[in-house]
Structure 1
Amino acid sequence: MTPDAFNGGAAPAQHARDFFLARQPILNRQQHLVAYELLFRDAASGAANVVDHVAATATVMAHVAELGLDNVVGESLGFVNIDAAVLMSDFIGFLPADKVVLEILETVKVTPAIIARIKELSEAGYQFALDDVVVKSEDVRQLLPLAHVIKVDILGVQPDALRSLVFQLKQGGKKLLAEKVETIAEFETCLDLGFDYFQGYYFAKPLILSGKKLAPSQLAIVQLMNQIVADEDSTVLEHTIKHDVSLSLNLLRLVNSVGISGGRHIESVGQALIVLGRVQLQRWLQILLYAGAGQGDGLKSPLLALATARGKLLELMTLKRYPDHRSLSEKSFTVGIMSLMDVLFGLPMEAVLGQLTVAQEVHDALLFRRGELGDMLKLAEYIERIEQAWPLLLPVMRKLGLSAEDVAELQVHAFRWSNSIADASA
């Protein structure tokens, strides 16, 4: 399928950068990342997701194709909203059947033609989800046999009605996805009810635990990071790493799995220090913190995916603005990846910063969202929450001198790099 397959020729592809892209994580019952819902906003009008005008919808599809879906979602699936016009169109073919779940909006009115089209696309390998199900309406009943995933808006259903709805849908053997899950309590409720998937940013909310202390593995990494900042001798760094066998093994595993060694297999801590250098070593230690010291499926952590995408996006924004200012770009990366360490540690950010030595501008950005680095962090956060934070996004973007095209391009590079970390454990 090419852009010429719909009226307007290649025009939509030329305007693909006029859209902002956000990806909202979808987790399974083990809280591993399995998919993203892809959300689009028109940079000019602010219109969200799929819009009524077919040409604009074609542009969104062209945008997805141009980005390269693998770059955006990595090994995960991408949920993409579609309305009746998109469902009936030929340009659905822009989306690879093995990488997407087509999410039928609740506004779609069921007709024999709609049912026939869904069956046709199902035979072609596409999977479908029903969006924002709050009751078993007649339309929902007709679509249920054709859907693989049922998305339930948990904010739109009263608790008793939610339990009844889940029971009814589960009887049909469907996979249920709870959307708009924003707190740990909501996640636990949905887990108990039997939901299979969970969408929302509940996992990125700080759960501050009184008197909580860092785990020994976390303390070892924090100590090493502080030694790097203090410019300790390499023999001191190597001794600290070797003193913690788990840290040594997991650092070597991470460095080798991500393939940053130029094809060489790094076999020793000393070799890793030489190949990486201090700045890169500190970066991989920050990643290792989120990966749970590399244990089990830690690289599939949604918190790691969010933190690494933020870090890389801030680094790239800085390099876009200041191409020759490498040290500032490293500080930007640190701001992005450390911005979720209060969640990771279960401590207030002020307490986290009390244990880690950081530059003053990094401190101010993390604690107060102050300064240029603070503005970059706000921009990254606003993009993640594009549905709610849209009015705040454009002013910060303009303040930083970035265009919608700049942001779109940098996001794809950030997503690709973040995905490479998560995919390293595949």
Structure 2
Amino acid sequence: MAPSALDDVLRTQRARDFFLARQPILDRDQGIVAYELLFRSAAAGPANVTDNLAATASVIAHAAELGMENVIGASPGFLNVDAAVLMNDIVPFLPKEKVVLEILETVQVTDDLVARVAELAQAGYVFALDDVVANSENVQKLLSLVDIIKVDISGMKHGDLGALCAHFKTQNKKLLAEKVENVAQFQTCLDLGFDYFQGYYFAKPLVLTGRKLSPSQLTIMHLMGLLLSDAATADIERTIKRDASLGLSLLRLVNSAGIGLTQRIDTIGQALIVLGRRQLQRWLQILLYAEPGKRCNAAASPLLHLATTRGKLLELMAERIKPGNRNTVDIAFTIGIMSLMDALLGQSMNELLEQISVADEVREALLSRSGIYGDMLKLAECTEHVERSNCSQVAELLEKLHLSSDEFNALELTAFQWSESVSRSTG
């Protein structure tokens, strides 16, 4: 496809209602190693894409608005491709060092297609086979040219899954389990030797009766409570001083290049004055997800990425819907960040909200997804789970919040960029 033809496709796509989503791909330590980039129609439902060439072109266009690295960070991006995309000159627009091309299960594997995949693989492109459920003839035709096999585990019997896994392992292929929706499924796939995992099992709260928070988590929760109740600065300072690691983290933060100070800050009291309560609260909310000692690196934590993206996205929506209203913006950010605390801490949201005093509108949004903040949170969740049928309400929510698809995509891309920068700073 010539550049002018690509421009025609992109102009057509901008006139339609679409939204971009990125789904994390995790390794065996549950650290993020890649993202799958998806582009779906908001008006017709999340999975209703009939023109994969147009959809892939749209992914390229929207990812390019901020730059691929700002959307997916240093990790590679997985993109769905069909025969129309593979046989077209659109592929060279994709940076081969940043993408993995997923060949859709619906592709008819012809000799011409095999030759094209071989040509692109020779040029340095990495391929995955998508939604594999059996060792089919199509799979066999492409097996020598692909590095990754994505296995759709939904509905598969344990014995069949184990046999399929063992077969591809003998072929030295990396295995990616997709549609992993709970911790039990993750553990099964881990035991079978899968290398990578895709699905939102990590964001589902696993409530553990009697679980105790770590000392740092308890301190952060206590500090958040003090801030929300407008406690005296002296009380906040004393609490931080009791946790040496927290105090050091605070001093590192205020002395970082991003703060822009000309002289070094050496005391907790000075740090609190420089940072201010609003930024202190945000820092604590983020730090809760980046607590040291977790199994995976903080910079690669999927919950940190998801929570910071949600927080920023809700903040940006609030700014757009109610410009100049700082209180609304702060509430929206807090709801986005707190919406995954149950998954992080292994407690029900009801239990968590008993420990922290929050406004009624925050409570209602977190517990029942009600009110304007609840609508914002539902919209963010829908675009994270684009394969779920209930996410056909994206268009309805956009209309309710008076946001166009173009506006929302721009906000989402900015939130992705901010989340990547936060993750790098906490790593």
Smaller-chain TM-score bracket: over 0.9
The one-letter code matched in structure 2 to 1:211 is G
State how far apart, in whole Å, the 1-side matches of 2:337 and 2:320 are.
19
Paired residue type of 1:411: E
Residues 232/294 of structure 1: CA separation in 2 closer, same or farther (3 Å cut): farther
In structure 2, C-alpha distance between the alignment counterparts of 1:47 and 1:344, rounded to whole Å: 27
State the secondary structure of the residue aligned to 2:259: coil
Which range moved further: 216-225 or 68-77? 68-77
Aligned pairs (5 A) from 1:10-409 = 10=8, 12-13=10-11, 15-16=13-14, 18-46=17-45, 48=47, 51-52=50-51, 54-55=53-54, 57-253=56-252, 259-262=257-260, 267-293=266-292, 297-388=297-388, 389-409=390-410
Larger mean CA deviation between 109-118 and 316-325 belongs to 109-118
Would the alpha carbon gap of residues 419 and 267 (structure 1) be closer, same or farther in structure 2, given more than 3 Å must change? farther
Equivalent position SS for 1:106: coil
SS in 2 for 1:386: coil
Deviation of the 1:255 alpha carbon: 5.8
Supply the distance in 2 between the matched residues of 1:57 and 1:23 (Cα, whole angstroms). Answer: 13
Contact 2:42 2:392 in 1 (8 A): no
AA paired with 1:303? L
Q: 1:66: how far off?
A: 3.3
Q: What residue identity is the alignment partner of 1:299?
A: A
CA distance in 2, matches of 1:220, 1:345: 14
The root-mean-square deviation of aligned C-alpha atoms, in Å, is 2.2
Contact in 2 for aligned 1:154/1:180 (Cα 8 Å)? yes
For residues 52 and 247 of structure 2, the distance between their equivalents in structure 1, rounded to whole angstroms, comes to: 56
Distance 2:376 2:358 in 1: 17
Question: Which amino acid is 2:423 matched to?
Answer: A
Residue type matched to 2:260 in 1? G
Per-residue deviation at 1:14?
6.4
Cα offset, 1:42, TM superposition: 2.2
Give a deviation string over 1:347-376, Cα, whole Å, max 9, x none: 110110011121221111111212111111
Looking at structure 2, the residues matched to 253 and 174 of structure 1 have their Cα atoms a distance apart, in angstroms, of 43
Classify the secondary structure of the residue corresponding to 2:197. Answer: strand
Q: Distance in 2 between matches of 1:363 and 1:294?
A: 30
Deviations 1:252-287 (A, max 9, x none): 445666x53126665543343123210110111011
Residues 1:9 and 1:361: Cα distance change in structure 2 (over 3 Å)? closer
Identical positions, percent: 56
Query: What one-letter code is carried by the residue in structure 2 that aligns with 1:406?
Result: E
Question: Partners in 1 of 2:20 and 2:239 — Cα distance?
Answer: 42
User: Are the counterparts in 2 of residues 286 and 337 from structure 1 also a CA contact under 8 Å?
Assistant: yes
Structure scoring higher RCO (CA < 8 A, sep ≥ 6) equals 2
Q: Which SS does the other structure have where 1:64 is aligned?
A: helix
Unaligned runs of 5+ in 2: none
- Rounded to whole Å, the distance in 1 between the matches of 2:156 and 2:334 is 40
Q: 1:81 to 1:306 in 2, by over 3 A?
A: same
**Total equivalences in the alignment:** 423
The answer on whether the counterparts of 1:62 and 1:94 sit within 8 Å (CA) in structure 2 is no
Check the 8 A contact 2:42/2:394 in 1, yes or no.
no
Please tell me the residue identity of whatever aligns with 2:197: F
Pick which of 92-101 and 387-396 moved more: 387-396
Asked if structure 2 preserves the Cα contact closer than 8 Å seen for 1:251 and 1:288, the reply is no
Code of the residue aligned with 1:15 in structure 2: it is Q
TM-score (norm 2): 0.93
* DSSP 3-state at the match of 2:154: helix
Question: Could you give the per-residue CA deviations for residues 328-361 of structure 1, whole angstroms, max 9, x where no partner exists?
Answer: 1000000000001111111110110011121221
Given that 2:24 and 2:198 are in contact with CA atoms closer than 8 Å, whether structure 1 keeps it comes out as yes
Equivalent AA in structure 2 for residue 396 of structure 1: L
Distance 1:421 1:128 in 2: 30
Please give the secondary structure, in 1, of the residue aligned with 2:194. Answer: coil
CA distance, structure 2, for counterparts of residue 267 and residue 187 of structure 1:
45
SS of structure 1 residue aligned to 2:5: coil
Query: How far 1:190 moved relative to its partner?
Result: 0.3
Q: Secondary structure at the match of 1:38?
A: strand
Please say if residues 80 and 101 of structure 2, whose CA atoms lie closer than 8 Å, have aligned partners that are also in contact: yes
Contact 2:52 2:81 in 1 (8 A): no
Superposed displacement of residue 33, structure 1: 0.8
Paired AA for residue 418 in structure 1: S
Contact 1:382 1:390 in 2 (8 A): yes
- CA distance 1:318–1:192, shift in 2 (3 Å): same
By how many angstroms is 1:223 displaced?
1.2
Task: Give the C-alpha shift of residue 55 in structure 1.
Answer: 4.7
Question: Partner amino acid for 2:351?
Answer: A
Name the CA shift for 1:412/1:53 in 2 (closer, same or farther; >3 Å).
Answer: closer
Contact 1:61–1:91 under 8 Å retained in 2: no
| Per-residue deviation, 1:77 | 1.5
Q: Is the 8 A contact 2:39 2:58 kept in 1?
A: no
Shift, 1:36, TM fit: 1.1
Local SS of the residue matching 2:258: coil
C-alpha distance in 1 between matches for 2:412 and 2:146: 31
- Bigger drift between 321-330 and 263-272 goes to 263-272
